[in-house]
Amino acid sequence: MGGSRRPRIGISACFFHPDNERLVFKGKTLLYVEQSMVNWVQSGGAVAYLIPTADPASPVTVADYVDDLDGLLLHGGADVCPRSYGEEPLRPEWEGDEIRDRYEIELVQAFHAAGKPVLGICRGAQIMNVAFGGTLYQDILEQTDTERVHRSQELYDHNLHHVDVVEGSGLAKLYPEATTVKVNSVHHQAVKEVGAGLTIEARSSDDGIIEAIRLTTDGTDGTPAGYAFAVQWHPEFFKGVDDGTMLDNDPILREFLAQTATETTQQPAEA
């Protein structure tokens, strides 16, 4: 690479679709990233980039972004559209964002095919699962027996609960002293049927909802897979939320960045 440099991490965009009622950028598509996600990536010494959509009318393709970047981080945000995993929305408000789904699934598949690491956060865990052929609960309160509220508009990122780490999993190796940990929770969809090659690494302690998944084989012949890992919680919301008992998410970021193919000048992640 001609010398060491910081890893370049592409963050998938959130979408504001055209809205003629919006006062600014009326009728235009906006792509954005939440600032704390960028700050979390930067805390590990990496440089964060928002990955825009590739205009079909231009010569630029997704492959160009894959070539320039060292890893992909899948951002949280809007619901995954049930049609992206072969279902119809049970309610209009669960329609999700099918346009963003297609964009992110293409990114997952392209980065994975190039042997570059993928990390998913919240919606990112769900879209990763779908990209590997899995399905989702459209709404966990409606479709499971859980009594836990995993998304509270009032508490939002302060909605805390415990998850159990699967013994012997990659996540357990990152936290060898922890079997149950406290995380935040801002979701109403969740992984249902796990995608090909993915393994469950954590579940919500009181209702069994899947909270972490990892690609362990390629899903076809059992050969070792590239790095793809995802959590349902929000590591980037740790600062300002931690009550002194929450999981320290720095090992997750460090593991992801360690998978990048370049020599790096990573700085110690801050608590």
pTM: 0.90
| Secondary structure (H, E, C), 102-135 | HHHHHHHHHHHHCCCCEEEECHHHHHHHHHCCCC
* Helix H or strand E segment including 229: strand 228-231
In the block, tokens 């991490």 appear at 9
Cα 47 → chain centroid: 18
Say how far apart CA 208 and CA 87 lie, in whole Å.
Answer: 23
Catalytic residue among 104, 122, 161, 211: 122
So what's the architecture of 8-258 in CATH?
Answer: 3-Layer(aba) Sandwich (3.40)
Q: Which residues contact 184 (CB under 8 A, 6 or more apart)?
A: 157, 158, 159, 160, 233, 234, 237, 238, 241, 246
- Looking at residue 246, the DSSP 8-state letter turns out to be B
pLDDT 10s per residue in the chain (271 long)? 345 789 999 999 999 998 888 888 989 999 999 999 999 999 999 999 999 999 999 999 999 999 999 999 999 999 999 999 999 999 999 999 999 999 999 999 999 999 999 999 999 999 999 999 999 999 987 877 776 665 546 544 556 788 999 999 999 999 998 899 888 887 689 999 999 999 999 998 888 889 999 999 765 555 556 899 999 998 887 776 667 788 889 999 999 999 996 544 444 444 4
Q: What is the dihedral of CA 101, 158, 192, 32, to 10 degrees?
A: 10
Q: Which of 104, 201, 211, 236 is catalytic?
A: 236
**Domain coordinates in residue numbering, the chain:** 8-258
Record the tokens describing residue 172, joined without a space: 């357990």
> Is 122 noted as a catalytic residue in this protein?
yes
Q: Which of 75, 112, 150, 234 is catalytic?
A: 234
Residues 6 or more apart in contact with residue 240 via CB below 8 angstroms: none
Whether 236 is a known active-site residue: answer: yes
